[in-house]
Amino acid sequence: MSMFTRKFDRKVHVAFGVFLFSLLFGVGFGYYVLWPSDLEAGYEPAQPILYSHKLHAGDMKMQCLYCHSQADKTAQATTPPVSTCMNCHSQVQSKGPDGQVLPATQFVLDHWKSREPIRWNKVSDLADFVYFDHSRHVNSGLTCQECHGPIETMDRVRRQYGLKMSWCLACHRQAPPAGSRAERLGWDQRAPINCSTCHR
Ligand code: HEC
Ligand code: HEC
Ligand code: HEC
Ligand code: HEC
Ligand code: HEC
């Protein structure tokens, strides 16, 4: 025999269901918002051709700013136009055993001829409601690798760190390194962490 009427029993079940649902939803949402997650690290999208940073920036030791020439001047680092590649590849055109220019180089030459930009897939894509500026960071002495990892060892670019708020804050909260602007200004941390710094 049940302790309660059947109608009351059903109400208890419904109430318990709602409670359980809210609990799971709450925990899930809290986890999504608060956990210092690097869920998005390791993202490595395919590109139209295999352009290798390991070869160009690693073995050949080309400077990052040779191709990403806006990184110390504007908010965006930008990827280079085909004309930058043609500084070399108008001459350097390795051929396969069949005597044909290798397909990836041919792809670059075709885009140059048709004046069409190469559409690379973005690797680091920050939420649009966040304000970020490359030049501020690069000119304060940060290396590209502190945020992008050892790019010069990668054949295909892989996202080193998730782009969560906790990642930005973890660095901004650090003690100012010796000789940094923050140290000269007598700040107790590396960079500001008030909300309007990044949400304007
Ligand atoms: C400073 C000169 C230089 C610049 C600038 C340059 N490359 Fe290269 N690239 C080379 C050299 C040298 C090789 C090696 C050729 C070899 O060993 O066969 C190479 C190899 C390559 C290869 C591999 C060969 C193949 O066809 O599979 C690709 C693809 C390539 N480059 C694409 C690019 C792209 C895209 C850009 C512009 C974003 C670029 N390169 C800019 C010098 C350069
Ligand atoms: C010869 C030109 C060249 C040089 C030198 C070069 N890059 Fe790149 N970089 C590119 C091209 C082209 C892309 C777009 C294709 C890709 O993602 O591989 C790119 C993409 C990137 C990306 C990913 C951008 C995104 O979508 O998030 C990062 C980060 C990057 N480069 C950092 C560097 C760093 C750091 C160096 C120096 C160690 C460097 N690059 C040197 C040409 C270059
Ligand atoms: C403080 C961290 C930080 C430093 C230092 C940094 N980057 Fe970035 N980079 C980012 C973030 C975050 C994004 C994504 C920006 C977005 O999506 O709006 C990004 C995006 C890029 C892109 C994609 C194109 C663009 O502008 O969105 C390239 C290329 C790039 N970075 C290259 C570089 C190079 C080269 C250097 C060094 C000269 C460098 N970055 C230094 C954090 C950094
Ligand atoms: C590895 C360390 C590091 C990381 C990661 C980093 N920052 Fe910074 N950021 C700095 C430093 C250092 C400064 C201070 C530059 C100065 O003023 O000397 C700064 C300054 C800034 C400023 C300018 C502050 C002002 O005074 O107006 C903004 C905006 C900013 N960062 C946004 C971001 C965002 C958004 C992210 C994450 C996507 C991020 N940063 C990740 C080190 C970092
Ligand atoms: C140094 C840069 C920086 C500062 C300072 C900062 N944020 Fe953020 N915030 C971010 C970034 C980057 C994201 C995007 C995270 C993502 O896409 O998951 C974000 C996302 C958010 C979101 C969306 C939820 C989420 O986590 O995705 C909220 C809400 C938020 N921030 C509130 C704040 C508040 C409130 C403050 C002040 C206490 C603050 N932020 C300070 C960089 C910052």
129 DSSP assignment: T
pLDDT of 150 above 50: yes
Q: What is the CA radius of gyration of the chain?
A: 25
Q: What's the whole-number average pLDDT of the chain?
A: 90
Pocket test for ligand 5, best of 34, 165, 198 (most atoms within 8 A of CB): 165
Instruction: Look at ligand 5, atom 32, and give the residue with the nearest C-alpha.
Output: 195
- Give the per-residue pLDDT at 34: 54
**Does the C-beta of 147 come closer than 6 Å to ligand 3?**
yes
Residue 75 exposure: Cα atoms within 13 Å on the Cβ side: 6
Q: What band does 169 get if pLDDT is binned at 50, 70 and 90? A: very high
Residue 98: CB atoms within 10 Å = 5
- Give the per-residue pLDDT at 133: 97
What phi and psi, each to the nearest 5 degrees, are found at residue 95? -110, 150
- Ligand nearest to the backbone CA of 132: 4
What phi and psi, each to the nearest 5 degrees, are found at residue 61? 55, 35
Q: How far is CA 102 from the centre of its chain?
A: 30
- Give the per-residue pLDDT at 25: 79
Q: What band does 44 get if pLDDT is binned at 50, 70 and 90? A: very high
Calculate the CA dihedral of residues 168, 174, 178, 184 and round it to 10 degrees.
Answer: 80
pLDDT of 158 above 50: yes
The helix/strand/coil state of 34 is helix
Ligand 5 is surrounded, with C-beta below 6 A, by 33, 126-127, 130, 163-165, 168-169, 172, 193, 195, 197-199
